Amino acid sequence: MAEFNIDEIMSRLPHRYPFLLVDRVLDYVDNESIKALKNVTINEPHFTGHFPSHPVMPGVLIIEAMAQVGGVLALSSTDDDKEYLMYFTGIDGVRFRKPVRPGDQIIFEITVLRKRGAMWKFKGEAFVDGDLVCAATLMASVFPKDEV
């Protein structure tokens, strides 16, 4: 079992404010799975317009956060000293089950379904208070920075 704080997450992902959407990794199993969290706060810029009288986290940002967690898993599973980037390449079967609101804490559980060369396929689930709020299958490619 491995945990990563925000500094360790930022050493793996290129994202920064306001687009870094992962706060902590709670558990990580190399090449297999990851569990991470995002604290949702009213101070996030998208809540200004989505929606002012009833703030709801945009579904596309939930998927982006899920993809970033998958990126932490894939990028942490590389076994050499090159710097890598992950590109999100596809998404299937997205389902949103409940709205995510300020004050919620999203727990992401990502499992590797398949890894073939640079290509990764993940099962992603997002939970708030134990309830499934979003599920999707995500695809991504990981490349050394000097090849992109």
Local confidence pLDDT in tens for the 148 residues of the chain: 799 999 999 999 999 999 999 999 999 999 999 999 999 999 999 999 999 999 999 999 999 999 999 999 999 998 776 789 999 999 999 999 999 999 999 999 999 999 999 999 999 999 999 999 999 999 999 998 888 7
Spelled out in words, what is the top-level CATH class assigned to the domain 6-147? alpha beta
Q: Strand (E) positions, the chain? A: 24-29, 33-39, 84-96, 105-116, 119-128, 131-144
CB 57 within 8 A of CB 101: yes
* Active site annotation includes 46: no
Closest by alpha carbon to 70, among 143, 139, 1? 139
Q: Is the pTM higher than 0.85?
A: yes
Q: State the pLDDT at residue 79.
A: 75
Q: State the pLDDT at residue 81.
A: 63
Please calculate the CA angle 56-17-32 and round it to the nearest 5 degrees: 80
Tokens of 105: 């804490």
Q: φ and ψ at 8, to 5 degrees?
A: -70, -35
Domain boundaries of the chain, sorted by first residue:
6-147
Q: Which of 15, 46, 50, 54 is catalytic?
A: 50
Residue written as tokens 């982006």? 64
